[in-house]
Chains A and B, each alone.
Chain A
């Protein structure tokens, strides 16, 4: 869609886009190009000499068992976060769509965590699960499970999944609720007249009609789990214990800023960029087409 009426000026449009274009070039394209360049070089420990090594950094990366491990746990982490936060949010939204009394109160109580930074959500859960003073870990001890997220990799993973999914429920809830409210009442009433139970109506009518929202949310939540959870991991487990929660975005930071491995970190950046581009492409391809059965 284009405007039929427009201004004709020579200089004005360039002045208008200048600020954004400059920032985009300096802080997006230049660093991205640098990442590609750095991913093909190797630097000595003091940064004094650099040599071109072609794809050696990538070969090193994909033969590094720690990196492969990091990919694996990132996938596990993302799958758990997406599945749990989406299903809980859908359940809550379906219920909120049903009740009339108190719906404004419920809504407020359910959406506020959207405002939290993932790092803050991590600290809140760290307190709950703290092996000595935590309320939840105490309850777990009572039922016979000795919880320690500082020693057990599984416990640490559960901790970051819980904190990440918990924070994301409110975002998903809002979109599911908006999706549910846009479904025409007449469809549901017609099914009710035909004698379909609420449960059956949900799975045969509502859920399929929600599929564009669900699909959109899966992609957005994947991006969230992959990239936005850096702060959460950094404040709670710092990738540990023994790399058990070292997800990709945490590893690229650690190898670059703590390990000072420029080539390796840049190669990881390039891999991450490829993942984002892929996710965005999937989103555009399918969301534009609107998944409807």
Chain B
């Protein structure tokens, strides 16, 4: 601190407390709603203290799900989200590591072209080309499958670009030494480059896991079979019930369950996550 200004420090704390309150309040209300009984919502406004139906509501959604959402148990949707998020995160990291390795450590015809082909995909989020992408996936017979949920989202330039930037900073002497010792490309990759990239891989995994878990539009399009619903898109079917009030206590229990895994990841791996975020974007 530059100088002593107690009032300014108090003001700073006040602003931060207010900010934290505004950011946490919606979560608190959602949690409270998830512990109420169905009839308690007749009382207006809803209570801001937790009710006594925590176990009842959570076990209801986990094992039975909601009729309006195809009655898929939330456990099933959580599993689908987990599979999708892990497939996307692992897939992206694997193919990006390999292609960045090729682009940095090899000389071959069309190297630049391939780099730019990959790089331009940075600019085409799935939201802008949904109908044709859906058409391609449908014609490949990949609707209602884990492959269809994850593979089209696996190609991305961001991870490749990050690894390329990182590999470029790896000292050249390492490769010279490895080659003197007679190591081939595979050996060098596995024994030198991979261990060096461990922190970057972990940081990227956190970011990509959240990215995969939070996908919405894509699962909405490629799944018509409730057995492949993911949790984030499944919630929509619970909220928009035709001609009926949503069962808020069950919807909110599902919301809490849907947001818990990524929030736990962000808070638990805060340092890695911040590092990953700031490095990817810069």
Contact at B98–A20, with CB atoms within 8 Å?
Answer: yes
Interchain CB contact (< 8 A) of A3 among B5, B104, B140: B104
Contact at A7–B106, with CB atoms within 8 Å?
Answer: yes
Contact at A111–B266, with CB atoms within 8 Å?
Answer: yes
Chain B neighbourhood of A174, CB < 8 A: 274, 277-278
Contact at B154–A230, with CB atoms within 8 Å?
Answer: no
Chain B window 4-22, contacts with chain A (Cβ cutoff 8 Å), 1 for yes, 0 for no: 0100110111011001101
Shortest A133–chain B CB gap in Å is: 5
Contact at A20–B96, with CB atoms within 8 Å?
Answer: yes
**B58-66, B111-119, B194-202 - the one binding chain A:** B111-119
Contact at B106–A6, with CB atoms within 8 Å?
Answer: yes
Shortest A47–chain B CB gap in Å is: 11
User: Does A16 reach chain B (CB closer than 8 Å)?
Assistant: yes
How far apart sit A171 and B134, CA to CA, in the bound complex (Å)? 30
**Which residues of A, 139-190, contact B by the 8 Å Cβ criterion?**
139, 166, 169-171, 174-175, 178, 185, 188-189
Shortest A289–chain B CB gap in Å is: 14
Contact at B16–A99, with CB atoms within 8 Å?
Answer: yes
Contact at A262–B155, with CB atoms within 8 Å?
Answer: no
**Which residues of A, 76-132, contact B by the 8 Å Cβ criterion?**
88, 91-92, 95-96, 98-100, 102, 106-121, 123-128, 132
Interchain CB contact (< 8 A) of B44 among A110, A117, A133, A188: A133
Contact at B2–A117, with CB atoms within 8 Å?
Answer: no
User: Does A70 reach chain B (CB closer than 8 Å)?
Assistant: no
Query: Are A24 and B155 also in contact (CB < 8 A) when A8-B107, A123-B251 are?
Result: yes
Contact at A115–B175, with CB atoms within 8 Å?
Answer: no
Contact at A124–B27, with CB atoms within 8 Å?
Answer: yes
**Which residues of B, 262-282, contact A by the 8 Å Cβ criterion?**
262-263, 265-267, 270, 274, 277-278, 281
Chain A neighbourhood of B122, CB < 8 A: 280
Contact at B127–A91, with CB atoms within 8 Å?
Answer: no
Main secondary structure of the interface of A (DSSP, over half): helix
Chain B window 186-218, contacts with chain A (Cβ cutoff 8 Å), 1 for yes, 0 for no: 001000000000000000000000100111110
How far apart sit A228 and B211, CA to CA, in the bound complex (Å)? 11
**Residues of A bordering B, CB below 8 Å:** 1, 3-10, 12-14, 16-17, 19-21, 23-32, 34-35, 38, 88, 91-92, 95-96, 98-100, 102, 106-121, 123-128, 132-135, 138-139, 166, 169-171, 174-175, 178, 185, 188-189, 192, 198, 216, 220, 223, 227-228, 230-231, 234-236, 238, 249, 252-253, 256-257, 262, 265-266, 269, 272-273, 275-277, 280
User: Does B49 reach chain A (CB closer than 8 Å)?
Assistant: no
Interchain CB contact (< 8 A) of A230 among B160, B216, B259: B216
Contact at A216–B281, with CB atoms within 8 Å?
Answer: yes
How far apart sit A132 and B100, CA to CA, in the bound complex (Å)? 54
User: Does B55 reach chain A (CB closer than 8 Å)?
Assistant: no
**Which residues of B, 15-72, contact A by the 8 Å Cβ criterion?**
15-16, 19-20, 22-24, 26-27, 29-30, 33, 41, 44-46, 48
How far apart sit A199 and B56, CA to CA, in the bound complex (Å)? 53
Contact at B235–A123, with CB atoms within 8 Å?
Answer: yes
With A16-B106, A95-B13 given, can you name 13 additional A-B contacts, CB distance below 8 Å?
A13-B111, A16-B102, A31-B129, A92-B15, A109-B20, A109-B23, A110-B23, A139-B45, A169-B23, A171-B277, A223-B125, A227-B127, A257-B221
How far apart sit A69 and B16, CA to CA, in the bound complex (Å)? 38
Shortest A227–chain B CB gap in Å is: 4
Contact at A120–B255, with CB atoms within 8 Å?
Answer: yes
| Residue with the highest number of chain A CB atoms closer than 10 Å, among B210, B258, B259 | B259
User: Does B124 reach chain A (CB closer than 8 Å)?
Assistant: yes
Contact at A20–B123, with CB atoms within 8 Å?
Answer: no
| Residue with the highest number of chain B CB atoms closer than 10 Å, among A38, A114, A174, A262 | A114
Chain B window 121-149, contacts with chain A (Cβ cutoff 8 Å), 1 for yes, 0 for no: 11111011111111111001000000000
